[in-house]
Structure 1
């Protein structure tokens, strides 16, 4: 009998021993055998899919990347688990996926576990955004289907197979463009984040990769499959033609898309697959119908990430002599960045970013010309307290607005 350490392993072992005494089977283990009498295994011992992950940077910004995830069949008792330590949210998301798969595939092998691992084994992982990818890994192992190696996916998932929104979509799309992925699936409820990429970075990211929205697990399967159906297949192929033509000369890409033929091709993709967000929003862009400002969620996230240094300066309690978190040149760069971003922000976020700029100006003035007298220091303390409080007041007012709360889905 193999050794199992830890309380969880002990419980599972005792459960397996007690079930026969109660006249029960552990997940129908006794009935699941191959023709030769051996335990029924998964159709694929190992399978892969690309997940889109995001990592916070010290600057406050986020870096997205496509990461290969794999599932390996090992002897066990019908469990699915991560092979490394992950956060509570990711564990919860996997449980929802397991519930869905238990309904979709009630006869999955029970004498083997699936171990899910990430390409980056030694960095922390959390959040629900790998749920759909985990579902695809389980689907592949059970059915024997393999997925397009140029496909990547992100999204949370409920036990009914519905795909739910997640954070960091814009960063994940940018990260996907730096890898080998050419087809990406994101939750339909995150479409605004795709528009934000276009607003901030222009058309090139959405041209390099074909972004689709998904509402259900079945839609993820249709996109990930190596052999696509009569709707998805032609749309993906048509977009690949557009991409290849434009990338032959990236400098002329926008004029190519604006041409009558370019617009006709984009329209053809949208007609075949309305959930092809790359074609949809590129067409809107060349026709002058694309948003000029970021979404509300994108505006808040952009201010928070680009203004992190200012927020850290506030938290460092500069008024009590705790030291300043930024150098003058860093402060100047941050303030210039926020001022340049302001016209692209949802105007409901303007009071928040303006309060941050006022605070930054006070702190930068102290960095450039430190107070040398008691009176000067007292004036700085009063100003930094007042402007620091205004940041918190503005953020609280923004997040307390009923319309904002509803729009953010809080």
Structure 2
């Protein structure tokens, strides 16, 4: 799973231009959506770590084969599009290899993931795979006196539950896991995976982001302990799907404070290696907290290590858009105030508590909807982009989620707490009442005088209530009729990133090949279907895009059509490849010209 957020600073754009990266995808990702992870990543499982004695495991040939086959299926046949991340896939291979280290399918899947982060999988059903995993757990558990069998069963049960936590076999697996844990057999994945292998989305990239362990110190105070030792919050992200396209999501970030004998002051760190932007944003967060609690030293203890953890901790992360989430999270440790589980946010933050612009806001709102978040905070400078949600998706998401623009930490604080002020609670309820009426009726009710009056009351009480403000404008017919510049580019990137990446790799491979008559441009059915979907989505956008971006939109549409339709009659692979190369170059040059326009850069927040 990849996390993305916007840089959109002109200085970083110029740096990119000076590097002369000739790849459209790199330009998209780095200049526009500077990511928490710039590459697909996979961690090779440590096959030497001793978790149970493989030779002591007693399992007949039939049961062993079934267990290995189902574990390989977890690693080979599912991916991020199926909500199966690299961590689970690597863990499955770690157990499969221990049960049958000479198995060809285990070896080939390990090699494929190591080489390019992808596998040549087969059609598979989670229910069928978890049923086979549950069968393997039962077979292993029959040997009650074999400790290694029971340990192995605990690992396989854990994999099955993570693969399909709400599936038909989840209850059986959970029961087996609980029984095994009661007997002292629990899956311990610590240090099971090695360092991340970064598979670049862009074969032309000249350099990779460096991920490393990051620690930030803060002077201790007079407090004996933190007001609460743990806290968590939802962060809004954009993740990469299996086909290379992007989708919004919400991911939990947590903080845990533990007393450490070798720590004198306060030490803040992550549960994994992170990139330089994320490390830098934590430094800004700590500066802010030092200032915020300078006059309350009794709330600041000493001798603690505070670890920030991620829901998907084996995916390398970089970028500043988690800064607001970090600040709220850590502040709750000092204050003791719990955060609302229904709240999610995104945004960079400065040391003086100013929430800064990020990218992909519209996609992140869609991700919050899927996660069931009810209250969302986004940077004030991203507010216009939520008009894109209204334009592209209609009013439903604005009725379901109360979106607030955030200019300062105090505004984020007000809507993120579990125990909110009476004024905030009343305003939230007032909006929910209006939303319920409109949802039960139809969109025309937004023009109703009483609905307008109540929406206006919400905005008067909380001027940063963006959902109410946009619905109010919609009822008056004053809502935006075209997408924002950032929204247009973001939507094109989300829709076409997988197709453009495939084209770029094919062009690159062709240039590197000595065989000019090769068949490098005979795309598979999946790629063709992705391109057809991209064409459909791009054509839907045509009437809503900013006029200044029309040439860019047309250039992207043209190259996607070329992949969707394939080569012309009697067009040789070489000629087809040359045409794709020229069309990709046209997209790139059009993009460069477009983004050099000062007005466009300004509209993007550059």
Please indicate the TM-score interval, normalised by the length of the shorter structure: 0.7 to 0.9
- Separation (CA, whole Å) in 2 of partners of 1:153 and 1:42: 24
Cα distance change on mapping 1:99 and 1:303 into 2, 3 Å: same
> Which deviates more from structure 2 when the two are superposed, residues 321-330 or residues 117-126?
321-330
Q: Does structure 1 residue 402 correspond to structure 2 residue 598?
A: yes
- Separation (CA, whole Å) in 2 of partners of 1:314 and 1:278: 39
Matches within 5 A, 1:241-280: 241-247=433-439, 249=440, 252-280=441-469
- Separation (CA, whole Å) in 2 of partners of 1:91 and 1:360: 37
Q: Does structure 1 residue 304 correspond to structure 2 residue 496?
A: no
Displacement of 1:138: 1.4
Q: Does structure 1 residue 348 correspond to structure 2 residue 571?
A: no
Q: Residues 136 and 221 of structure 1 are in contact (CA less than 8 Å); yes or no, is this contact kept in structure 2?
A: yes
Instruction: Determine helix, strand or coil for the equivalent of 2:543.
Output: helix
Q: Does structure 1 residue 316 correspond to structure 2 residue 499?
A: no
Tell me which residue corresponds to 2:256: 72
Instruction: Determine helix, strand or coil for the equivalent of 2:593.
Output: helix
Cα distance change on mapping 1:187 and 1:364 into 2, 3 Å: closer
- Separation (CA, whole Å) in 2 of partners of 1:184 and 1:229: 17
Tell me which residue corresponds to 1:102: 290
Q: Residues 313 and 325 of structure 1 are in contact (CA less than 8 Å); yes or no, is this contact kept in structure 2?
A: no
Q: Match for 1:51 among 229, 235, 248?
A: 235
- Separation (CA, whole Å) in 2 of partners of 1:324 and 1:218: 55
- Separation (CA, whole Å) in 2 of partners of 1:267 and 1:135: 31
- Separation (CA, whole Å) in 2 of partners of 1:381 and 1:121: 40
- Separation (CA, whole Å) in 1 of partners of 2:246 and 2:582: 30
- Separation (CA, whole Å) in 2 of partners of 1:175 and 1:268: 28
Cα distance change on mapping 1:185 and 1:366 into 2, 3 Å: closer
Q: Does structure 1 residue 92 correspond to structure 2 residue 280?
A: yes
Cα distance change on mapping 1:28 and 1:346 into 2, 3 Å: closer
| TM-score, normalization by structure 2 | 0.57
Displacement of 1:173: 1.0
- Separation (CA, whole Å) in 1 of partners of 2:556 and 2:407: 37
Cα distance change on mapping 1:263 and 1:138 into 2, 3 Å: same
Tell me which residue corresponds to 1:357: 557
Q: Residues 169 and 193 of structure 1 are in contact (CA less than 8 Å); yes or no, is this contact kept in structure 2?
A: yes
- Separation (CA, whole Å) in 2 of partners of 1:224 and 1:83: 24
Q: Match for 2:380 among 181, 185, 188?
A: 188
Tell me which residue corresponds to 1:23: none
- Separation (CA, whole Å) in 1 of partners of 2:250 and 2:584: 38
- Separation (CA, whole Å) in 2 of partners of 1:213 and 1:394: 33
- Separation (CA, whole Å) in 1 of partners of 2:370 and 2:557: 33
Q: Residues 60 and 305 of structure 1 are in contact (CA less than 8 Å); yes or no, is this contact kept in structure 2?
A: no
Q: Does structure 1 residue 335 correspond to structure 2 residue 535?
A: yes
Q: Residues 316 and 324 of structure 1 are in contact (CA less than 8 Å); yes or no, is this contact kept in structure 2?
A: no
| TM-score, normalization by structure 1 | 0.83
Tell me which residue corresponds to 2:484: 295
Displacement of 1:398: 0.4
Cα distance change on mapping 1:146 and 1:329 into 2, 3 Å: closer
Displacement of 1:381: 5.5
Q: Residues 230 and 255 of structure 2 are in contact (CA less than 8 Å); yes or no, is this contact kept in structure 1?
A: yes
Q: Residues 503 and 580 of structure 2 are in contact (CA less than 8 Å); yes or no, is this contact kept in structure 1?
A: no
- Separation (CA, whole Å) in 2 of partners of 1:392 and 1:127: 24
- Separation (CA, whole Å) in 2 of partners of 1:366 and 1:240: 50
Q: Residues 360 and 487 of structure 2 are in contact (CA less than 8 Å); yes or no, is this contact kept in structure 1?
A: no
Tell me which residue corresponds to 2:415: 223
Q: Residues 62 and 168 of structure 1 are in contact (CA less than 8 Å); yes or no, is this contact kept in structure 2?
A: no
Displacement of 1:394: 0.7
- Separation (CA, whole Å) in 1 of partners of 2:504 and 2:566: 13
Q: Which ranges in structure 2 are unaligned for 5 or more consecutive residues?
A: 1-211
Displacement of 1:259: 2.3
Cα distance change on mapping 1:400 and 1:45 into 2, 3 Å: same
Cα distance change on mapping 1:68 and 1:364 into 2, 3 Å: closer
Cα distance change on mapping 1:183 and 1:385 into 2, 3 Å: closer
RMSD over aligned CA atoms reads 2.7
Cα distance change on mapping 1:46 and 1:366 into 2, 3 Å: closer
Q: Does structure 1 residue 130 correspond to structure 2 residue 130?
A: no
Q: Match for 1:371 among 567, 571, 582?
A: 571
- Separation (CA, whole Å) in 1 of partners of 2:419 and 2:493: 42
- Separation (CA, whole Å) in 2 of partners of 1:239 and 1:257: 13
- Separation (CA, whole Å) in 2 of partners of 1:370 and 1:88: 51
Q: Residues 255 and 330 of structure 2 are in contact (CA less than 8 Å); yes or no, is this contact kept in structure 1?
A: yes
Instruction: Determine helix, strand or coil for the equivalent of 1:316.
Output: helix
